[in-house]
């Protein structure tokens, strides 16, 4: 993690809901859509299952940015998981703003199983945004051993 | 006011209406009070009430064995009680809230800073004047000059939770979110630095959590070992995670009583985090904690038309 | 108190920054600095506020020798062979300046805990051996102080290498050990004049007078009899169950261990937390705040004295000062005194 290095690439952890966004990522792959390889995907049952500490922990332990993606409102497999998540995310965003975290470090999206192109676009945007911000030095653990 | 409180408490205990009255008595250090668990009518004589009664008593309600208790209730206790009833943590008819008028509390931190940290040997309130005595000095000034900034713009609703409503509460003054507006000038770098410094000070004693009447988890995420959500290090990031997640857990539930900041032995005050979430909840979701015992939980409920302009 | 009039020298207030700066150039130099709740021991740098207010710093000296978290050893598998790499203290001589007698005494109480053979804690012992403790006598004890009750003295010498007694214009400097003389002699300070000696005695008398009346905390026998006393049911009621009292106690020394990224850490832990005694089975022998508070008091005032002959409390008053609910150790002990089994 060398900020000055021109070859520095951000690590993005993406929490994708099993029913929509993960399938959307799959579709992007099957469709051979190109997007930056910086993203590490963690499949979760629902965007509503994403505890804010997962996001913060990822940033603490080496992620430079986090994306959480779920089903569009109305499409949730569990009916309203994403709508509950939406509230949590709005609050988390405000909280991170209070402690000076750059807004683009943590992003949220709705990507359906049919939106392979949107998934690729979202990843491109998040990676670009975080690349512009540089490494997440703030929440990340100082002097940590590199995570495998 | 103290006289009324004592009289009411003694009567309730003597009649057997309640088995316990929760209030404050004089503490052992200047300008300190300590919670009093009054069980005999005679104990009521020790009750006091003044702007040094700053510890939120509602936090004790959850662990009491008594069938019925009376609670000396400032607006802070009342708002907390509303939340505790709302979350079914205590049965509403178990608690008789004796409403107390409140025009704010003395902030020990504000006082220390005004006195440039000189040691106070003796302190007393004489009406609205505060008299503090140290080694070879004495100062006297209106106590409101060292009022807790969080008391400014206090919400004094009557949430219908009182058994006896407070007499003529002082009208709320100022804007409760003014403290946040004052922070808008801070750059993100300054905010990060401020938060980092707070995290470096934090010794993880969790006094904030323990003093908080709304920190009610049977097992705090910070204490979990499998999986351990916080690492074993003293890296400031551990404290950052703790305080951020605590703020999330208190979103829509924190009544801004300030117990966390008062409890901190090393001067960490992160109330602005909770207040920012309170404002977000009010503006975005029209949710106000401590007002309505029937309200839906902020996180855990939703409206189909909640704004989502931030979602890609 | 032993009199050492022949050896006492005098350091003026103006000379102090230069003395500390020179010390910091030679090696790590920790100083008691800061105000109120933001005070503690930090590495010296010019411009620090060194004027001590009444009583001890908020954060304790133990943090210098027993940090909040530290690595015990690292481990890795190299070519299929597990390897350990124990952490070693640097061994570099260090100076700690501004130590209140209560804090120094606390280290002396902790030494047998960490250094009694066969289990010698290398990290603790290494730091202790490397440290010169320069004390600063307590001219104005704080409102929560009760060191005489715990067997201490505002100008106590136990555990210190040098004692400075603050008087008008400077400090009467009394080297107490070889190491203390090694710190003092190079300063080339003039011998203290008789009136400076007298002033120091007056400071001591005033400080002792202020602390007069603190009742002794010798409760070992009483507590040993009173384990099941009904008083415990009430004593803990106001306690919130936080660890502020234990983490800011100069003699509390419990810790937990945890692993991360190939390193084993130890970090402070507190008997006030339920997880402290939680078994892997899920059973917890100390179920409520009552058992936890009792443990804290029994350890300090019964079990420790049973083993070491004196209580594990130095009367610094920090726990009194910082308790969010103003649960005052002094009055708790006072109540316990009345216990008859």
Give the rounded percent of residues in chain C with a pLDDT score beyond 90.
77
User: Closest approach of chain A CAs to the CA of C162, in angstroms?
Assistant: 37
Give the span between the Cα atoms of B97 and B61, in whole angstroms. 11
- In this structure, chain A runs to a length of 148
Within 8 A of A56 by CB-CB distance, chain B residues are 240-241, 244-245
> Alpha-carbon distance C296 to C275, whole Å?
15
C258 in reach of chain A (CB within 8 A): no
Alpha-carbon distance A94 to nearest alpha carbon in chain B (angstroms) = 7
Q: What is the rounded distance in angstroms from the CA atom of residue C102 to the CA atom of residue C96?
A: 14
Alpha-carbon distances, residue C248 vs C61, C64, C68, C156, C277 (angstroms): 10, 13, 11, 21, 20
Q: What is the pLDDT of residue B73?
A: 93
Which pLDDT tens digit goes with each residue over B143-201? 999 999 888 878 765 667 888 887 765 655 678 888 898 888 999 999 999 999 999 99
Strands (E), chain C: 9-12, 29-33, 40-43, 69-78, 81-86, 94-99, 131-136, 162-167, 170-175, 255-260, 263-268
**Residue A4 pLDDT class (50, 70, 90 cuts):** low
Rounded alpha-carbon distances, angstroms, from residue C1 to A114, B148, B196, C101, C176: 85, 45, 45, 13, 11
Chain B positions touching C316 (Cβ under 8 A) are none
Chain C interface, best mutation among A145, A147, A148, by max C CB count within 10 A: A145
Question: Which among B245, B281, B310 has the least Cβ separation from residue A93?
Answer: B310
pLDDT score of A146 more than 70: no
A145: closest chain C residue by CA: C261
Q: What gap in Å lies between CA B189 and CA A12, rounded to an integer?
A: 22
Q: Over chain C, what is the mean pLDDT?
A: 91
Distance from CA of B3 to the nearest CA of C (A): 23
Cα C1 from Cα B308, distance rounded (Å): 72
Q: For the packed helices C329-337 and C289-298, what is the interaxial angle rounded to 10 degrees? A: 80
Question: Tens of pLDDT along B2-49?
Answer: 888 999 999 999 999 999 999 999 999 999 999 999 999 999 999 999
Query: Is B221 in Cβ contact with A53 (below 8 Å)?
Result: yes
For A13-36, what is the mean pLDDT? 95
Coil, strand, or helix at residue C101?
helix
On whether any CB of chain A is under 8 Å from the CB of B188, the answer is yes
Rounded to two decimals, what is the model's pTM? 0.94
The enclosing H or E element of A70 equals: strand A65-70
Q: What tens digit of pLDDT does each residue of C213-229 get?
A: 777 777 888 888 889 88
Question: Closest Cα of chain C to A147: distance in Å?
Answer: 8
ipTM: 0.92
Evaluate whether A12 touches A66 at the Cβ level (below 8 Å). Answer: yes
Nearest CA in chain C to A146: C261
Buried b (16+ CB within 10 A) or exposed e, C221-254: ebbeebeebeebeebbbbbbbbbbbbbbbbbbbe
Residue B173 Cα to chain centre, angstroms: 18
Between CA A75 and CA A114 the distance in angstroms is 12
Phi, psi of C270 (to 5 degrees): -135, 135
For residue B183, the chain A residue with the least C-alpha distance is A98
The rounded mean pLDDT for chain B is 92
Does the pLDDT value for residue C52 go beyond 80? Answer: no
pLDDT above 70: residue C3: no
Residues of chain B with Cβ-Cβ distance to C247 below 8 Å are: 203-205, 265
What pLDDT score was predicted for residue B171?
54
Residue B146 CA to residue B152 CA, distance in Å, equals: 12
Cβ-based contacts of C263 with chain A (< 8 Å): 145
Q: What mean pLDDT do residues C158-162 have?
A: 96
Residues in chain C with CB shorter than 8 Å from the CB of B201 are 38
C-alpha to C-alpha distance for C209 and C164, rounded to whole angstroms: 19
Nearest alpha carbon to residue B276 among A109, A100, C144, A63? A100
For A61, the closest chain C residue by CA position comes to: C261
Contacts of C261 in chain A (CB under 8 A): 144-145, 147
pLDDT tens-digit map of B58-67: 999 999 999 9
Cβ–Cβ pairs < 8 A, chains A and B:
116
Contact B203 C53 (CB under 8 A): no
Tell me which of A35, A48, A49, A53 to substitute to probe the interface with B (most B C-beta atoms closer than 10 Å): A53
Choose among A57, A101, A125: nearest Cβ to B241.
Answer: A57
CB contacts < 8 A (B, C): 134
Q: Which residues pair with B224 in a beta bridge?
A: none
How many CB pairs lie under 8 A apart between chains A and C? Answer: 5
Question: Is C258 in contact with B231 (Cβ distance < 8 A)?
Answer: yes
């Amino acid at each position: 993690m060398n900020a000055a290095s021109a070859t520095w690439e951000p690590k993005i952890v993406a929490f994708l809901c099993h029913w929509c966004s993960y399938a959307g990522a799959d579709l992007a792959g099957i469709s051979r859509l190109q997007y930056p390889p910086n993203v590490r995907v963690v499949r979760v049952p629902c965007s509503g299952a994403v505890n804010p500490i997962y996001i913060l922990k990822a940033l603490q332990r080496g992620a430079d940015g986090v994306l959480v993606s779920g089903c569009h409102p109305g499409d949730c497999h569990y009916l309203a998981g994403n709508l509950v998540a939406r509230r949590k995310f709005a609050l988390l965003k405000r909280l991170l703003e209070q402690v000076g975290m750059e807004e683009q470090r943590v992003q949220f999206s709705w990507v359906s199983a049919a939106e392979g192109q949107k998934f690729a676009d979202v990843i491109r945007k998040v990676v670009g945004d975080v690349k512009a911000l540089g490494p997440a030095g703030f929440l990340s653990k100082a002097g940590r051993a590199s995570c495998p | 006011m103290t006289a009324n409180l004592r009289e009411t408490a003694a009567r309730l205990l003597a009649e057997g209406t309640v088995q316990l009255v929760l209030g404050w008595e004089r503490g052992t250090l200047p300008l300190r009070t300590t919670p009093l668990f009054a069980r005999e009518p005679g104990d009521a004589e020790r009750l006091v009430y003044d702007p040094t009664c700053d510890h939120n008593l509602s936090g004790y309600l959850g662990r009491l064995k008594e069938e019925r208790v009376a609670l000396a209730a400032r607006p802070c206790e009342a708002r907390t009680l509303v939340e505790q009833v709302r979350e079914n943590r205590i049965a509403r008819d178990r608690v008789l809230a004796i409403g107390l008028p409140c025009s704010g509390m003395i902030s020990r931190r504000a006082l220390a800073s005004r006195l440039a940290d000189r040691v106070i040997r003796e302190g007393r309130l004489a009406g609205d004047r505060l008299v503090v005595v140290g080694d070879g000095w004495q100062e006297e000034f209106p106590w409101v000059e060292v009022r807790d900034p969080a008391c400014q713009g206090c919400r004094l609703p009557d949430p219908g939770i009182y058994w006896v409503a407070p007499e003529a509460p002082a009208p709320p003054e100022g804007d409760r979110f003014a403290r946040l507006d004052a922070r808008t000038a801070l750059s993100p770098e300054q905010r990060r630095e401020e938060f980092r410094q707070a995290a470096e000070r934090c010794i993880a004693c969790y006094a904030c959590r323990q003093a908080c009447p709304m920190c009610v988890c049977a097992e705090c995420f910070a204490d979990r070992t499998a999986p351990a959500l916080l690492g074993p290090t003293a890296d400031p990031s551990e404290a950052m995670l703790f305080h951020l997640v605590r703020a999330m857990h208190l979103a829509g539930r924190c009544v801004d009583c300030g117990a966390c900041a008062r409890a901190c032995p090393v001067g960490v005050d992160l109330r602005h985090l909770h207040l920012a979430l309170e404002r977000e909840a009010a503006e975005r979701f029209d949710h106000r904690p401590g007002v309505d015992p029937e309200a839906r939980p902020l996180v855990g409920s939703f409206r189909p038309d909640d704004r989502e302009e931030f979602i890609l | 108190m032993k009199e050492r009039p022949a050896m006492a020298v005098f350091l003026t207030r103006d000379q102090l920054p230069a003395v500390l700066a020179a010390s910091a150039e030679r090696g790590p130099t920790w100083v008691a600095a800061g105000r109120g709740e933001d005070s503690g021991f930090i590495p010296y740098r010019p411009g620090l506020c060194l004027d001590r207010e009444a009583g001890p710093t908020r954060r304790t000296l133990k943090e210098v020798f027993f940090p909040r978290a530290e690595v015990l050893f690292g481990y890795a598998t190299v070519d299929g062979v597990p390897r350990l790499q124990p952490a070693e203290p640097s061994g570099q001589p260090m100076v700690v300046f501004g130590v209140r007698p209560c804090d120094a005494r606390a280290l002396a109480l902790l030494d047998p805990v960490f250094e009694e053979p066969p289990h010698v804690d290398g990290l603790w012992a290494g730091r202790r051996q490397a440290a010169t403790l320069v004390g600063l006598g307590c001219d104005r004890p704080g409102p929560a102080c009760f060191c005489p009750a715990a067997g201490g003295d505002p100008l106590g010498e136990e555990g210190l290498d040098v004692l400075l007694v603050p008087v008008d214009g400077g400090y009467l400097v009394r080297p107490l050990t070889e190491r203390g003389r090694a710190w003092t002699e190079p300063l080339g300070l003039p011998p203290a004049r008789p009136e400076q000696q007298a002033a120091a005695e007056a400071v001591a008398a005033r400080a002792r007078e202020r602390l007069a009346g603190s009742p002794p905390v010798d409760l070992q026998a009483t507590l040993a009899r009173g384990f099941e006393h009904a008083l415990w049911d009430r004593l803990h009621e106001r306690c919130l169950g936080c660890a502020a009292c234990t983490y800011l106690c100069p003699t509390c020394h419990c810790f937990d261990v945890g692993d991360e990224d190939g390193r084993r850490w130890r970090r402070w832990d507190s008997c006030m937390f339920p997880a402290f005694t939680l078994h892997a089975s899920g059973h917890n022998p100390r179920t409520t705040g009552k058992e936890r508070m009792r443990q804290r008091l029994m350890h300090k005032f019964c079990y420790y004295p049973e083993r070491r002959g004196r209580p594990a409390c130095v009367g610094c008053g920090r726990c009194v000062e910082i308790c969010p609910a103003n649960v005052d150790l002094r009055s708790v002990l006072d109540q316990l005194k009345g216990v008859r089994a």
